[in-house]
Structure 1
Amino acid sequence: MRWCPSSVLHLLRCVRSRSCTRRGKSSLPLWIREIWAYILLLVQSLCFNSLTDSDVVFDSVFEPVFWTVDYVTRWFGKVFVCLVVILTSSILAIVYLILLPMVIDTYSTAWIAWHLIYGHWNLVMIVFHYYKSAVTAPGCPPTVKNDSPFVAVCKKCIMPKPARTHHCGICNRCILKMDHHCPWLNNCVGHFNHRYFFSFCLVMAMGCVYCSISGRYLFLDAYNAIETKYQTPAPHYTFKEKFINKCIIYMWVLTSTVAVALGALTFWHAVLISRGETSIEKHINSKETKRLAKRGRVYKNPFNYGRLNNWKVFLGVEKRSHWLTRVLLPSGHLPLCDGLTWDSLPFKKELMPV
């Protein structure tokens, strides 16, 4: 932190007071005067004290750009959520109206039972985890002073924050164990919804892989049928057949693309979880590792409890039955930690592997 919070607030009051004294003489709208006062504050902050460096100058100059990006992302979050719902609903409509009748007519009873059981389990998991990750608050530090330890002061909120807490410019608040702001959820991914987010990514990727593999032959048949009919038009190639073939192609292309992209993202988050770190902490820990390596020292992540224990903490697994009730089935249980303290393992030591 480069500036003293009280000094910055004093400077902002001075700029606003000078703007207010001219309010009676100026005919400009209030929002223009506020923007102008903010720009003056940014310019004055460039030479505010002797501790100014390139990072401070960069943050000050590009602050309007950051604000614009945050505002646009905040507004487009609702559009992205609607897009997820529309695309997922379109795939479900194709599966139920086109693919399911084909499966019932052509597959054996055992295969039909497998597709019905797995497909509906996958669907329930997708809907549950997406809803929970979108509506569950990620968690914020308390606004009143308590006994929780704080490690820093947020330069945006001017409030103390505990370990693993970072400020989200889009949500305009500090988030406990913040991973990132996800526009597809229109929500931050933090301490209380991180598990929902990862589970949604995992089951959605699994569902897309399932649709891609199950429909690969239908896709080839539909593609070849369209190509053949375009080259040699036939009077019996009805609009319904053409529509069905295009729907199958659309489903296969969309699910295959999402499977690759979302599968890579899910794998990356799985690696981070195994290391006991978030996306933000990945960059912080990398910098600390390089900084200490120059001094001949080794950096150790204080929140890494071991690969298996990291997954237990993340998934909220306290006993063996929880792998079924809390992982393989929809579960709304809270994390084992409160997100404020991370001093020790949040479960009994006898549950740790020998």
Structure 2
Amino acid sequence: MRSWRCYFSRLMRLSVRWVRLCPHRGQNNRPSLLQQSWSYGRVVFNSLYFNILTNWDTVLDSIFEPIYWLVDNLTRWFGVVFVCLVIALTSSVVVIVYLCVLPLIVRTYPAHWILWHLGYGHWNLVNIVFHYYKAVTTSPGRSPQEKCEIPTVTICKKCIVPKPARTHHCSICNTCVLKMDHHCPWLNNCVGHFNHRYFFSFCVYMTMGCIYCSISAKDMFFDAYNAIESYYQTPPPQFTSDEKLFHKSLLYLWVLTSSVAVALGGLTIWHAVLITRGETSVERHINRKERKRLRLIGKVFRNPYTQGSINNWKILFGVEKTSHWISRVLLPSTHPPRGDGLTWDCPPLRQDAVNTI
């Protein structure tokens, strides 16, 4: 409090000094526009560092604030483009599978393999569409704006509202998100308490679907690749336009699904590790710094929000009994997550560790 009083008092003295430099008694004594601008600029510049709480981090944040604003707004608007791109690419793969892959499977595979492909493929497709739609449209959870009796950790400097535990401010959504994991541009939405399960399930089922398509169309891809290479032979073989489109579609299908399987599979494994540890992407960075700090003073950091590896998965998927692994994990389900995202139960052992730390 004293530092802010010192800051304002110095700023007022500078303002008075600037006013004295601009007398209005006569036209001849009036300083020029350049002198006024220079004097005012000095006041503004001095106001940046005439505070003992100000450091170079604050100055750099102020300098780069326009860049942050530009990146946040571009990400917000490009999120719509990314969502349309996901829908377009997924739809193109589904169309190619229905028009090229499935007819060939039905003509050449035995009956039990045909039933397996039809059953697994449509089950996977339904889960992909359902979980992506819910991840995009479900609110991740916002910090309450009105006054309520909830335990708060701190006050958000941008929203000026209480922040419950595990709540963080998203500069793109411009709000505080409960149990924020990250802002996903492919969803045009934050991943938080109420849609974390939808996001992770979409990643799992999309990875499984891409692996399924790349394996199922592997032999077709090699045949199509050899056929495309023969286009450049002399004389070239005779292919109709439909056959050429068929070969190029299979090539596009295999390359796209294999690439997405590798990239999205790595992301899925990374989030699986975080879920097992009982932490989010944001908390990983915070816990890593805290772990290093406590190691220097001879203490061991323990995540207060982890309930154990298996229980962390049960909490994410909302599994309360054995049958829920089928009805809530393997099948589409709209059940809400456990808890309200405002308060979190800590195990007794972890709570004691927190108190000792």
> What is the TM-score with the length of structure 1 in the denominator?
0.85
Q: Distance in 2 between matches of 1:48 and 1:68?
A: 28
Matched, 1:65 2:67: yes
Structure 1 consecutive aligned stretches of length 4 or more whose deviation exceeds 3 Å: 39-46, 232-235
Q: Which residue of structure 1 lines up, in the alignment, with residue 135 of structure 2?
A: 133
1:230–1:186 Cα change, 3 Å: same
Q: Which residue of structure 2 lines up, in the alignment, with residue 280 of structure 1?
A: 282
Where does 1:16-35 land on structure 2 (aligned, <5 Å)? none
Q: Distance in 2 between matches of 1:203 and 1:176?
A: 25
Q: Which residue of structure 1 lines up, in the alignment, with residue 18 of structure 2?
A: none
Where does 1:293-312 land on structure 2 (aligned, <5 Å)? 293-312=295-314
Q: Aligned residue pairs: how many?
A: 313
Q: Which residue of structure 2 lines up, in the alignment, with residue 214 of structure 1?
A: 216
1:293–1:128 Cα change, 3 Å: same
Q: Which residue of structure 1 lines up, in the alignment, with residue 91 of structure 2?
A: 89
Deviation at 1:305, TM superposition (A): 0.9
Q: Distance in 1 between matches of 2:132 and 2:111?
A: 31
Q: Is the 8 A contact 2:306 2:346 kept in 1?
A: no
Q: Distance in 2 between matches of 1:133 and 1:41?
A: 49
Q: Which residue of structure 1 lines up, in the alignment, with residue 170 of structure 2?
A: 168
**Please, which runs of 5 or more residues in structure 2 have no aligned partner?**
16-40, 348-357
Partner of 1:300: helix, strand, or coil? coil
Whichever residue aligns with residue 52 of structure 1, its letter is T
Q: Distance in 2 between matches of 1:136 and 1:41?
A: 48
Q: Which residue of structure 1 lines up, in the alignment, with residue 38 of structure 2?
A: none
Q: Distance in 2 between matches of 1:182 and 1:119?
A: 26
Where does 1:38-49 land on structure 2 (aligned, <5 Å)? 46-49=48-51
Farther off after superposition, 53-62 or 113-122: 53-62
Q: Which residue of structure 1 lines up, in the alignment, with residue 82 of structure 2?
A: 80
1:41–1:169 Cα change, 3 Å: farther
Partner of 1:78: helix, strand, or coil? helix
Deviations 1:155-180 (A, max 9, x none): 11111110000000000000000011
Where does 1:97-136 land on structure 2 (aligned, <5 Å)? 97-136=99-138
Q: Distance in 2 between matches of 1:273 and 1:310?
A: 6
Q: Which residue of structure 2 lines up, in the alignment, with residue 250 of structure 1?
A: 252
1:241–1:279 Cα change, 3 Å: same
Which residue of 199, 202, 205 corresponds with 2:201? Answer: 199
Q: Distance in 2 between matches of 1:206 and 1:94?
A: 17
Q: Is the 8 A contact 1:178 1:190 kept in 2?
A: yes
Q: Which residue of structure 2 lines up, in the alignment, with residue 266 of structure 1?
A: 268
Q: Which residue of structure 1 lines up, in the alignment, with residue 355 of structure 2?
A: none
1:43–1:277 Cα change, 3 Å: farther
Q: Is the 8 A contact 1:215 1:252 kept in 2?
A: yes
1:73–1:143 Cα change, 3 Å: same
Matched, 1:337 2:339: yes
Q: Distance in 1 between matches of 2:46 and 2:250?
A: 60
Whichever residue aligns with residue 80 of structure 1, its letter is F
Q: Distance in 1 between matches of 2:110 and 2:43?
A: 72
Q: Is the 8 A contact 1:46 1:56 kept in 2?
A: no
Q: Which residue of structure 2 lines up, in the alignment, with residue 324 of structure 1?
A: 326
Deviation at 1:53, TM superposition (A): 2.1
CA RMSD of aligned residues (A): 2.2
1:182–1:41 Cα change, 3 Å: farther
Q: Distance in 1 between matches of 2:112 and 2:299?
A: 59
Deviation at 1:42, TM superposition (A): 9.2
Q: Distance in 2 between matches of 1:236 and 1:66?
A: 56
Q: Is the 8 A contact 1:42 1:60 kept in 2?
A: no
Q: Distance in 2 between matches of 1:189 and 1:42?
A: 39
1:40–1:291 Cα change, 3 Å: farther
Q: Is the 8 A contact 2:166 2:178 kept in 1?
A: yes
Deviation at 1:231, TM superposition (A): 1.6
1:45–1:309 Cα change, 3 Å: farther
Deviation at 1:333, TM superposition (A): 0.5
Partner of 2:298: helix, strand, or coil? coil
Q: Is the 8 A contact 2:152 2:164 kept in 1?
A: yes
Q: Is the 8 A contact 2:143 2:178 kept in 1?
A: yes
Deviation at 1:59, TM superposition (A): 1.7
Q: Distance in 1 between matches of 2:280 and 2:251?
A: 37
